Amino acid sequence: MITRRISTERILAGLEAKAARRLPIMIASAGSGLVARLLEAAGADCINTFSGARLRANGMGTMSMMWPILDSNRQTLDYTREDIMPALEGNAFVCACLNANDPLKDMRMTLGECKTMGVESVSNIGPSVSYVDHDSEIYRVLTSAGVTYQNEIEMLKLAREEMDMVTIGLAFTLEDALAMCEEAKPHIFCYHAGTTKGGLKGYDSGLTIEQTAEQTEEAYQAVRKVHPEVLLVAHGAAMENPVDAQYMLDHTSGHGFWTGSSTERLPIERAVSAAAREFAALRFRKQDA
């Protein structure tokens, strides 16, 4: 297989063109080659790979990636190289979500490995310290051990400033959002409103789509003050389906959205369950005497 490469210059030109025409930018996570191929064919601008998506493809929840049960970066790099890149035509670019706090990796080498396989974009969600409640004991323990959000900021600064990569910053809190956008100046920033609800492994935080939009817009307005040229996308919480995503487009001032479970886990659960139930309901027809 020879997948067409997409340069950083071309990626950014395409994104800016969509923003100028008021067409939503669509980033979509994929845990398998089949999902990646379908997302690209449907028109996704970016296919996002990370260990959480790979675990979702195996029936586990996204947050499984938070525990030291696997080498998150190794899993992301391996399945991106073996499953995702060969499945694509080269119309969508690939963004690898990396763990900047990996104590066994030099992130310059890891980013170099991405570029070698044709991945010209990187994000900090694989996993991110921003997932962890900042007033919790575990957050304080992680920080004291050197596992920090600052390391994620530094990785994206390295990727953009020295390695000419498209950077997608992500944060769960306004504090982290401001730090990321002020220091790393990512090309795209995603405000993560929380784990997507619905299905077998979703989590419902109680946020309505109206509250999801309000929180997201608050973050958008804040980060624009420190990084006016950033492209803004929404993700998570009550944004479960296309109707929800349309609400986000109508009630926030961003440039698009990032889908994860909503275009991957949830559609697979529904489609496979429905088809399997039909097959399971089949019975032998009675034979005429």
Q: pTM for this one?
A: 0.89
Residue 73 is predicted with a pLDDT of 93
pLDDT at 289: 55
Q: Is 8-280 assigned to CATH 3.40.640.10?
A: no
Q: Sign of the C-alpha dihedral, residues 164, 168, 170, 174?
A: positive
Predicted confidence at residue 262, as pLDDT, reads: 84
pLDDT tens-digit readout, 141-188: 989 989 999 999 999 999 999 999 999 999 999 999 999 999 999 999
> pLDDT tens digit string along 24-59?
999 999 999 999 999 999 999 999 998 777 667 666
Q: Report the C-alpha gap between 24 and 18 in whole angstroms.
A: 7
Cα separation, 150 vs 181, whole angstroms: 12
pLDDT digits (tens, 9 = 90+) for 83-115: 999 999 999 999 999 999 998 899 999 999 999
User: Which tens digits make up the pLDDT trace of 183-229?
Assistant: 999 999 999 987 654 544 554 567 899 999 999 999 999 999 999 99
**Structure confidence at residue 207 (pLDDT):** 81
What is the distance between the alpha carbons of residues 62 and 260, in angstroms, rounded to a whole number? 10
